[in-house]
Amino acid sequence: MEALQKSSTWKGRRGPVLLVIMDGVGYGKYSEGDAVAEAKMEHLNALTSSAPHTRLKAHGRAVGLPSDDDMGNSEVGHNAMGCGRVFNQGAALVSQSIASGALFQGQAWKEISATTGTLHFIGLFSDGNVHSHLDHLKAMICHAKQDGVKTVRVHVLFDGRDVGETSALDYLEPFEEFLRAENTDGFDARIASGGGRMWITMDRYGADWEMVHRGWETHVHGTGRQFATARQAVETYRQEIPGIIDQDLKAFVIAENGKPIGAIEDGDSVVYFNFRGDRALEITAAFEAETFDKFDRGRRPSVSYAGMMEYDGDMHVPARYLVSPPSIDRTMGEYLAATGVRTLAISETQKYGHVTYFFNGNRTGKFDDTLETYREIKSDVVPFEQRPWMQCALITDAVIEALGSGDYDFIRLNFPNGDMVGHTGVYQAVICSMEAMDLQLGRLKKAVDEHGAVMVITADHGNSDDMFEHNKKTGAVVRKEDGTPKAKTSHSLNPVPCIVYDPEYKGDYTQTLREGLGISSLAATCIQLLGFVPPADYDLSVLS
């Protein structure tokens, strides 16, 4: 890796460049339900009105997704910001692989479909296209039948975050019809177990291994509350727990005559069909790791296990995967390390992997241990609506200390509030999370002034800016029977901020930022503010 070239026009600053990522904070399309606009964001608004700013695209093709109808997400967003270019991402790669037939021609699929036992599919049960897509699952079930597999069991993780918060039955009923149509000529495919994605299986970053344990007991051992159908489970939990949303639905096991229909046994095959890596690594470890101390696995069946994609390219996890992830090279982090730039990456647990692994192009570890510091602030293990401020103050404490130390040239941080609290659908909590984060922006501005730094404020995608469901034709808020707005818990398609606060500006770029760009332009922007020439093939900087 060659070092970056110094810019001949850059006049230098006293302090470092600070990239502040307000996770899940965009510019809302509707006045109702825009928690960012409704919150008292005094510091963010002041920075927007006084500093050069523009709007960046953070969804669809701008971050490598198949179409502009696809919501951005934190993983592809941080990939784009850290890589400086747009790569085709998980959903697009999987769809292409299925359409071309490459997935089914690969050795991994051949090994999985060769089972003489049951083929199990575990994954997020929606078409949100952030972690998974039901079309991918259906295609694999159909092909498994063609390949001679006789028994398929599906272990569903209800969504309610990337799609409507109570949309489970909208997906369940058509899928059951699909299975009934496929169940001919001795083929037997059925739903075997499930639960909400935030209750079982889909933990990340080691925040709550008990979630994975509950999923393991549910999917693998078939242990848990039994129901005759998945629909019965959903309806029962909704009656018993008023207001529960899909992501929090409790675990269930489908049983006949008191016996689970889909416990995982020796000789079976298992596909975890999520293509996104962060919430796939822990359940993968439970299946694959020989040494495992996170919980007691009890009976660990001997199975052929495959992930939809390679979830960790450095650790090569899982050992078997159906579709290769994008090959991302020459990231901003690698260039900065080659150039001798001292870097700090920091967030709390929920987004720590985003400012490290995803920002570095799905790479675990550092490029240079002597130049890079990664710091994780432990997240609270409670529902985010109960602690909507999260750890933004502790993150800010550490960043202010780092600014004053003189040890860093580039600092990147993520405030998870707008995304993690936004996913709860609790509007008051989201307002609180925004105002808590705004207080920290004020603290950072003061420290940037003191140390002569440059602060770039942006986001990876929208979420908290679009908290109510709206009628797509009229734009009117969709209301529940009691007249209150129906909460929206998924990401938005809205643009995100890009504010360049440079208190010691010296005229080395114009004060009018470029428009119409995507968040992949942030890499070149930060490199330019560090006094270097961005790589020629990086997407254009917002600075001119």
Q: Give the CA radius of gyration of the chain.
A: 24
Of the candidates 461, 527, 455, the residue with the CA atom closest to the CA atom of residue 162:
461
Sort 24 into a burial class: Cβ within 10 Å, 0-12 / 13-18 / 19+: buried
DSSP codes joined into one string, 235-271: HHHHHHSTT--GGGPPPEEEEETTEES----TT-EEE
Q: Which of 7, 8, 74, 464 is catalytic?
A: 74
The Cα 245–Cα 402 span in angstroms is: 40
Q: State yes or no: is 74 an active-site residue.
A: yes
3-state secondary structure of 457: strand
The b-or-e profile of 136-169 (16+ CB within 10 A means b, else e) is: bbbbbbebbbeeebbbbbbbbbbbbbbbbbbbbe
Going along 129-268, which residue ranges are E strands? 151-158, 188-196, 226-227, 252-256, 259-260
The Cα 270–Cα 110 span in angstroms is: 13
Q: Are 528 and 500 in contact (CB under 8 A)?
A: no
The Cα 490–Cα 492 span in angstroms is: 7
The Cα 123–Cα 48 span in angstroms is: 41
Q: Are 103 and 275 in contact (CB under 8 A)?
A: no
Residues with a catalytic annotation lie at 74
